[in-house]
Structure 1
Amino acid sequence: MMRMISLFGAALTAVLFSGCTAAPEPQLETARQMIQTNRAECVLITADGRLVTGERGHGVNPLLTLYETRQSDMAGATVVDKVVGRAAAAIAICGKARHVHGEVMSEDAVKFLQKHAITTSQTLLVPRILNRKRNGLCPLEQSVAGIDDPAKALVSLKQRIATLRGGK
């Protein structure tokens, strides 16, 4: 029985980290557990192995706050987040992350990240990130759709967030 569980775990790890060129870090499982148990929304595993958590919030806000306040920690880091679409990918690219793990990750995010030499892993790969009603694309994903320049995508994303918050 233990051997079967061990083989299943090895197979699951192989599926989760397909496309990942570097071996997963030991801290990755800790960061994933923090997210799964709602102790964190987003976690950076810094280049020197420290775990840095973001503030609580919805959508890309925890990751965006980490980018804006802890950019030096993001450079060379592994980003671990609940949901990673093209919007979150743009933030990670601009922050110079080296690897991104999403508990849920869109196919578009994988392509965008890999195009910028960032390795990826995910628990669940989905075609796209939907809105909360699940009847269309997430509005933040809409704001960056078709934008190939990560810096321009980030500007568009911030504008959409401001609009959704009632700003200009």
Structure 2
Amino acid sequence: MNARLAKELLETHEAACIILRDGEIIFTHVGIGVKPLLAFMEKPIDERSGNLTLVDKVIGKAALLMAVKLGIRNIYTPLVSEEALDAAKVHGVRIDALETVPYIINRTNDGKCPLEQSVTGVYDPEEAFVKIKQAISELMKNTVTL
């Protein structure tokens, strides 16, 4: 597989995230951000073990560190941040991407993604997971519901 095939796979399955074990699709999700990885983390350990590969629309450092926590060592994506590539080198994760950007942009297109920002300077997946959950909690508090 390569990043171009990964993009086609995402489009074919109308997914934002696909996880494969030994080349077979075991998980698809349409959620944005790290939601798919959080959902996969809730699966029983035997369902998320083995030789896993992640195919995701966007890989920032937060998503990369969550993938490391899940034991994923191969990632294919259309878009990756420089910070994610840096963390991938630290953890021995192989990333194949179509495009590299300095950082992942937030949803309002006026700054850095808050989850990527939450793990600035962090390389430990466990510490990152705590910071990501804290950032999500803060974001949820600031969400206005009608």
Q: TM-score normalised by the shorter chain: which range applies?
A: 0.7 to 0.9
Q: 3-state DSSP class of the match of 1:163?
A: helix
Correspondence for 2:107: 132
- Per the alignment, residue 65 of structure 2 pairs with 90
Instruction: Confirm or deny: 8 A CA contact 2:79 2:99 kept in the other structure.
Output: yes
1:40 partner amino acid: A
Structure 2 unaligned residues grouped into runs of 5+: none
Structure-2 change in CA distance of 1:35 and 1:157 (3 Å): same
The size of the alignment, in residue pairs, is 140
**Percentage of identical aligned residues:** 35
Cα offset, 1:139, TM superposition: 0.8
Pick closer, same or farther for the CA change 1:74–1:145 going to 2, 3 Å.
farther
Matches of residues 1-168 of structure 1 in structure 2 within 5 Å?
Answer: 24=1, 29=5, 31-37=6-12, 39-46=14-21, 48-69=22-43, 71-72=45-46, 73=48, 75-166=50-141
TM-score, with normalisation over the residues of structure 1? 0.74
Which amino acid in 1 is paired with 2:42?
Answer: E
3-state SS, counterpart of residue 165 of structure 1: helix
4+ aligned runs moved over 2 Å, structure 1? 52-56, 70-76
Deviation at 1:75, TM superposition (A): 4.5
Asked whether the equivalents of residues 60 and 88 of structure 1 are also in contact (C-alpha less than 8 Å), the reply is: yes
1:74/1:129 CA distance change after superposition, 3 Å? farther
Compare the two structures and name the one with the higher strand fraction. 2
